[in-house]
Every structure is written in C-alpha cells, then in structure tokens.
Structure 1
Amino acid sequence: MSTGLRERLEALGDAFWLRPAILVLLGVLLGEGAVWAEQSGWAAALLPKGWLYAGGEAGARALLGAIATSTIGVAGTTFSITVAALSLASGQMGPRLLRNFIRDAGNQAALGVFLGTFVYALVVLRTVRSVEEGSFVPHLGVTGALLLALLCVGTLTWFVHHIASGINVETVIGTVHAELREAVARVTLDQPPDQPPDQPPDQPLGGPLGGPDPARFAMPATGAPVLAEAGGYLRALDEEELADWAAERGATLDLLLRPGDYVFPGVPVARVSPPAQAEAAAGPIRAAMSLGDRRAAAQDLEFAVRQLAEVAVRALSPGINDPFTAIAVLDRFGDVLCGMAGRHLPGRAVFRAGRAVLFRRAVDYDGLLDAMLHMLRQNGAGSAAVLLRLMEMLGAVLAVEQAPARRAALRRHAELALALGRQTLQEQAAVSDLEARHAALPRGA
C-alpha cells in the first residue's frame, strides 16, 4: 500500500461521522428497497407469509412512529454517553488519547445502527396510505423495521458493555500498544538496510535525547534549499516516490524533516543537488508531504510511543499517584523492544541502481528508547515499584537483544535509573533491591 493511500485511510478513520453516514445511507436504501419489493410483489417471495407484518395502516403507522421516536432518542443517549466517556478519558489519560475513542469502530457503528434504523422507519412510514389515500401498507418494510428494532436492542446492550470496558485504562493501554506494535512491524526491516559506504547501520541521527541534530539543518555547500509553503505537522512523506523522481533526474535529495515534525512556513524542508534541479524538485517534494493539524501514526513511530508515555506520566502525577498503570506501560514498552530484537530500523539513504538518491532523517534506536523511558523515569522518581520494574524490563530486553549499540543504550538507561533511585528512594531496602537488579542485568556482547 502506498504511503499516501495509507495516510488517507488513517485520516478517514479519524472521521467519527463516516461509518454513521454510511449506515444512514444504507438505511435509506434498505427502506426504499423494502417498499419497492412490496409494490412489485416480491415481498411474499422474500419471506414466508406468516413472518410478514399482517396489520393494517393505523398499526403500521403507530409501529413505525414508535420505532423512529425511540431510536432517535437512544441515538442521542448514545452520543451523550460517548461524550461523557471522552471527557473522562481526557482528564484521566490525556487529551491526545481521544483520537483512539473517536477512531473506535464500535462507537461509530453503534451510533450508525440507531440512526440508520431511524431513517429506515421514516422512509417506510412515508409510504403508508389509508383507504382514502389509496390503501398501501408495506408489510415487508414494517417487518424489517421490527427486525432492526431488535437489532437496536442488542446494539444498546453491547454498547453499554463496550463503552464501560473501553474507558478501562488497561484497555486503552492495550489499544495503543497494538497500534505501536503495528507501526514497529511496518517501519522495521527483516534485513539490514542499504547504507552508503560511510554510514553504518542504525547510526544515531539525533542529539543525546533523540531530538533533531542542529547540524543537520546547516545548508550543504552543494545543495539548494526547497522551502515549505505551508505549516503543520508532517503526517506522512512519500519517500519512495521522491527517490524515483531523483533517480530519473540524476539528482540527490536531502530531506531535513521526518514524519511527526512540525513544518514551519518558509523553512527549508529539503536540499537538492545539483542546485539547478531545486526548482524542478520543489513541486514533487511538496506534493509528497502530507500536512495536518495533528500527528499521525502511519509513519511516525514515536507517535504511539508518546501516547503510551503520556498515560504513564499522568498516572504518576501527584493528583492520581497510580504506579500500577505506569508499570503496565513499562511492560508494553518491554514487549515492543523485545519484538524489535533482530529487526532493523531504516537507514539514512534510499538507493536506486546502486546510487544513493535520497537521504532522510531516519528513526534511531537511541531516540526511540529515550522517547519511551526518559519522561517515565523522571516522573517515577521516588517510586520504588516503578524504578524496580523499569530495571526488570531493561534486563528482559537485554536478555534477547544482541546488537552492541542497542545494548549500550539499554544499559545507559539502567545506569540512569540506578542513579535516580539512589538519589530519590528514601528506603534503604528499596535502594538495595534496585542495586541487586542492576547487578543481575545480562552482561557481555
């Protein structure tokens, strides 16, 4: 699947109205189809006669009116419950996690079922005519309304259970964890990436905390800049298309941003060599960039990481003081890091026909690890349970990770956790436990 298509599908998932709108349209079409089948004489062939509604015009109107009234009322209640759940999740787990509730297909489908039944009942109701008006009762349509009403009863029962379990913090953590695992599987590689001769695999591109390296933004002597026309978060970047363009033109592109960065208007987003190709490259580069008001998970590996970290940081705040939630997040981070063992992160260069045609700011292991653990460790200062679990998690990852550079990064975080525990833990027994776990960390290459 192309990068642009994946980003558009993710953006559609953020649209809460999409599934309800589809189900409303389906309700209209189903109602029209039921009336048509009745008028054309197909109703008896679709259902046995004993299964069809056998009442008259007055009963059909009363029944359809009751179904329409009740379902639109339940739809309003469903929307109110959803808003209440969003408010609770925003206060307890962070506003950025609202995206997961909005994207939830179950919430969207439940609202769509009620609204679709409502419009179905209205479509069928408008065709009911008394004897004075020509005497028409859509028996198949009324029967369908009864079946949809039963479906609504089941949907309401399921929705109450779904929304109650959906705001459970373990469920939220599990949802974000699954998204992070999918992102890792999509971004990482089974084989080492191609590298230019002077660029070893997994070479860190950022500063000591995984942020942008200021030296990367200095204009190369041989490159001409391409400036951004608009601002916003870089949601996706079609690097393969840009690499193909550069290969066809004999050019080299040096991208200065990566998905997740904020693009400022007028700031260089790429360098082009030879400089004469800069004007021709401006259009393809801007077309390959998908900007938006918020970050997206399609290519931004750190997006889901920061969502999980936010849950842990809020749980460790003095107002909540819930170390068990932070421990649950640490367990998920350990699961992801163990799953990355043996897999490779993309390299800096993209090659075509043996030539490096595009250089990018790739995600590096140090930066990813820093995004996972820095804020969590700092906010867990003084919590023996969190620091001990952090040390245990690092030990588990060290047991399966064989890459020397990654092991060094993991041990660096273990040293930071040990130093913090010695400074902030007030109970000597807790410090001794932390030191014992540190001493038990796997050694060697």
Structure 2
Amino acid sequence: MPAVFTVVALVLAELGIFAEERYGVPDSLNFIYSGGETGARTLLGAVAGSAIGVAGTVFSITIAALSYAAGNMGPRLLDNFTRDRGNQVVLGTFIATFAFTLYSLRAVQGGEENPFVPHYNVTGAMLLALACIAALVYYLAHVTASINMTRVITLLRDDLQDSLEKATHQREDSQGKRQPPPENYWQNGEVLRAPRGGYLQLVDVEELIKLADREDVALRLHVKPGDYVFTNSVIVTAIPHLPDGVMDTLTLGRTRLQGQDLEYSVRQLTEVASRALSPGVNDPVTAIDVIDRFGDALCRLHDRSWPDGVHFSGDHLRLVRPVTTFGGLLDSMFHMIRQYGKGSPAVTIRMLEVLRSIAACMDDPARHAELRRHAEMIYADALENTPNDNDRADLKDRYEGVLNIVQRPASQ
C-alpha cells in the first residue's frame, strides 16, 4: 500500500504541473497558493523534510517498542503490525507526501527567464501536510491499542478458528468410510526423498490425486504441512511406481505458514501462554485468557469432524496422507501450558474447568477419551506442585467435574 500511495502521488504531482503549464491558474480559484518562487521552495522543502523525518522517527521508535513487546506476545505482534491496513495507510501517507513534495520541488524555477511555480502542487503539499498530522494522531492511538495483549490474543484466536473451519467439515455418518491399507502394503513401494530440507508449507492434494489417477498408482505422503522435512528423508511412497511431478505438488520453505498448517496457529497462542508463565513475566492471567480461547475454538468443533486423509478414485486407492487429529490438536494446545503452569493453581484449575466445558459441548466418546487423558495429566502434575490443601481440594473438585461428563453415557 505505501508503494501504491507513492506512485499515485507522483502521478498527481506530474498532472498538477502539466495542468498549470497548459492552462495556468484561473482567477476564480482564489484558495490556490499564490506566493512566489522563494516561498514555494521553502514551503515544499519544509513539508518534505518534516514528512520523512517524522515518519522515520516515529516508525523506528515503534519498531523498537514492538520488538520489546514481542518478547512477551510472540512474533504475531510484529506480523500483525506489518499487515495492519491502518499502519500501511499512515506510512503510505508520509512517504507519498515526501515523494509528492520532492517531485514538485524540482519543477520550481526562478530567475527572469521562464520562471515557474507549481501553485497547484504547493497547495496539494499543504493539504498533504495536514493529512500527515491527522495520520500521526490516528497512528499513535492505533499502535497503543494494537500492543494490548488481549487484542493480540483475539487476533490469534481468529486465525485459529479460520484454520479449524477450513480443516474440518460438517459431521457425517461414519459408516461407509474406507480404511487405509495396512502398513505392509507399502513395503515394496518406490520412495521419493526430499531434495532439500525445510518446512512443508503447502500440499496440492487435488493435483496429487489427479497425478495418481492419471498414472494409476497409490501414493502415501509421510509428512503433513508444518512438519520439518530433512534432506534425503522419505516423504512419499508410491505403489507400484513413482510418477514424475510429485515434488511439484509440495512446497518447502524456511518458515511455517498459516493455512494448511493447523498447528501453526495453535503454537502461536501456546507461545504467548508459555511466555506469560515464565518466571521473568509471571502473568497467569494472560495464560488463562489463552486457555479460554482454546476452549472456545474447540467447542466450535462439536458438529464438525476431521478428514481421515484417505482418498479414493472410484474403488482405487490414490492417496493416504497424515492429518491433524483431535488428540493431536489437544496436545499442541495444552502440553506446554501444563508443563509450564503446573505450579500455578489458578492456571491448572482453569484448564480443568475449560476441559469440562469442552466435554459438555461434545458427545463423541473418542474425543471424551482424549479430554480425560489431558485432565488426568493436568491433575497429576498439579497435585505434585500444589502444597496448599485448599488448592488441592479445588483441583480435585474440577477434576471430578471432568470425569462426571466424560464417563457419562452419550444418551444422558
């Protein structure tokens, strides 16, 4: 957006100069700047210097403040700052003002022969200077609000919910679902090894299925988006032969990306909670906020199911790929928080309360079993690190609350 603003500013500056050279300035436009060459140079130079000076100072200080805050909130804060449209508009306004005034300044000509003052452009520079003041006031208030921890957590929660919506689908009858072949089915298959290392960022599933269907083969993908692929490690097994072009459907990169990598959004929230529970920060309230967001996201899955990663074309197996399961999602959400927060009764009690609420939202026995597994780990770790009898009693009460739901028959 700053680049677009700059290009538009340069085009407007050229149009202003062209219009004045051809048509001049009508007497009816008495609000247009009417000063001379010296005043125009001074005004344009002051606006240009102020715009770029204020922008450089304000944004450099902001980056320093954000870098410090990102130590507690995680890298999502900096990513949000660069993607935020409001910040882009403000930066674009300052840079466009500098480009507009600098381009206009070169057109100012003095002397007795062919003097020229771009009155339209000088007036435009004055208006842009006022726009910069308004943008600066907005920016200071906007950045202050964007560093708020609750806002960052809410943004991460929204990213997680979007990823969950894309990764799951409305629950359907499980009857008729086809099972993947046994492990020994792939023993004599031809393998594809990774030509380089990196994170698996994207998988073109549809293209993989079309390729397997065209070559009449079955493919097994050993990694899922978000996994780190090591050089020369096996990433695909094919039966009966390995077709060409499989690597073209896989995207490897240096970093993990949001989208197909469901656990990436979870990890960012988990990092916020883990930093909050570190001894140097000691902010259990933030960790509890993250736990609440996890509970909200999981309760939205009450009528949704996970893909099984098995793809057929007619009666022919075409692709088997690993997918994130409900249990794996719980592990990503709660393992690190449990490990870092086991000595904080407020955090462990809230985790058990959230697990109880999640269990009450769902009726799937398999999911209840995963919730019970995590409740048992949380309760066991918390008992060892909670010496106060009243806190231990509260923990037991919340733990039994989870068990009362996960052990209840589905008909109840």
- TM-score with structure 2 length normalisation? 0.91
1:375-386 matches, within 5 Å, as 375-386=336-347
CA distance 1:381–1:43, shift in 2 (3 Å): farther
Residue 104 (structure 1) aligned with residue 84 (structure 2): yes
1:23 aligned onto 2:19: no
Aligned to 1:221: 187
How many residue pairs end up in the alignment? 405
2:264 corresponds to which of 294, 303, 316: 303
1:132-163 residue CA offsets vs partner (Å, 9 max, x unmatched): 35122222222221222111111111111122
Which residue of 2 is the match for residue 263 of structure 1? Answer: 229
Counting only pairs closer than 5 Å after superposition, residues 87-126 of structure 1 correspond to structure 2 as 87-95=67-75, 98-126=78-106
Equivalent pair of 1:193/1:347 in contact (CA under 8 Å): no
Match of 2:331 among 361, 367, 370: 370
CA deviation after TM superposition for structure 1 residue 349, in Å: 1.2
Q: CA deviation at 1:199?
A: 5.0
Give the Cα–Cα distance (whole angstroms) in 1 for the partners of residues 254 and 83 of structure 2.
16
Quote the residue 2:154 is aligned against: 174
**How does 1:257-406 map onto structure 2 within 5 Å?**
257-275=223-241, 278=242, 280-281=243-244, 284-406=245-367
Task: Note if contact 1:236-1:291 (Cα within 8 Å) is conserved in structure 2.
Answer: yes
For structure 1, the residue ranges without an aligned partner over 5 or more in a row are: 1-18, 201-214
In structure 1, the residue matched to 2:409 is 444
**2:135 aligned residue (137, 155, 158):** 155
Deviation at 1:43, TM superposition (A): 7.1
Does the 8 Å contact 2:193/2:235 carry over to 1? yes
C-alpha RMSD of matched pairs (Å): 2.4
Higher RCO, Cα 8 Å, sep 6+: 1
Q: Does 1:197 align with 2:162?
A: no
- 1: CA distance between counterparts of 2:409 and 2:84? 45
Report the equivalent of 1:8: none
Aligned partner of 1:7 in structure 2 is none
SS in 2 for 1:101: helix
Give 1:63 shift: 1.3
Q: CA offsets, 1:206-239, max 9 Å, x none?
A: xxxxxxxxx98x9922421011112211111111
Q: Deviations over 1:393-414 (max 9, x none)?
A: 1111111112211111112111
Q: Which of these two proteins has the greater Rg computed from alpha carbons?
A: 2
Q: Note the C-alpha offset of 1:290.
A: 1.7
- For the structure 1 residues 408 and 62, does the alpha-carbon distance in structure 2 shift closer, same or farther, using more than 3 Å as the test? same
Report how far residue 362 of structure 1 moved: 0.8
* TM-fit CA distance, 1:54: 2.5
1:55 — aligned with what?
35
Question: Matches of 2:308 and 2:143 in 1, distance apart?
Answer: 42
Change (3 A) 1:27 1:419: same
**1:134 and 2:100 aligned:** no
The alignment-based identity, stated in percent, is: 43
| Post-superposition CA distance 1:369-427 (Å, at most 9, x none) | 10000110111112111011111111111111122111111121112222222221111
Q: Distance in 2 between matches of 1:42 and 1:170?
A: 55
C-alpha distance in 1 between matches for 2:113 and 2:66: 49
Matches within 5 A, 1:73-92: 73-92=53-72
5+ residue gaps, structure 2: none
- For the residue of structure 1 that corresponds to 2:305, the secondary structure is coil
Change (3 A) 1:288 1:44: farther
Q: Which whole-Å CA distance do the structure 2 matches of 1:331 and 1:367 have between them?
A: 18
Task: For 2:263 and 2:24, locate their aligned partners in 1 and report how far apart those are by CA, in whole Å.
Answer: 57
Deviation by residue 1:266-315 (Cα, 9 ceiling, x = unmatched):
1121111212xx1x33xx22212222211000210100101100110111
Q: How far did residue 186 of structure 1 move?
A: 1.6
Counterpart-to-counterpart distance in 2, 1:66 and 1:108 = 23
Corresponding residue for residue 3 of structure 1 = none
Do the aligned partners of 2:208 and 2:249 also contact (CA within 8 Å) in 1?
yes
Kindly indicate whether the alpha-carbon contact (under 8 Å) linking 2:20 and 2:118 is maintained by their aligned counterparts in 1: yes
Work out whether 1:37 is the aligned partner of 2:19.
yes
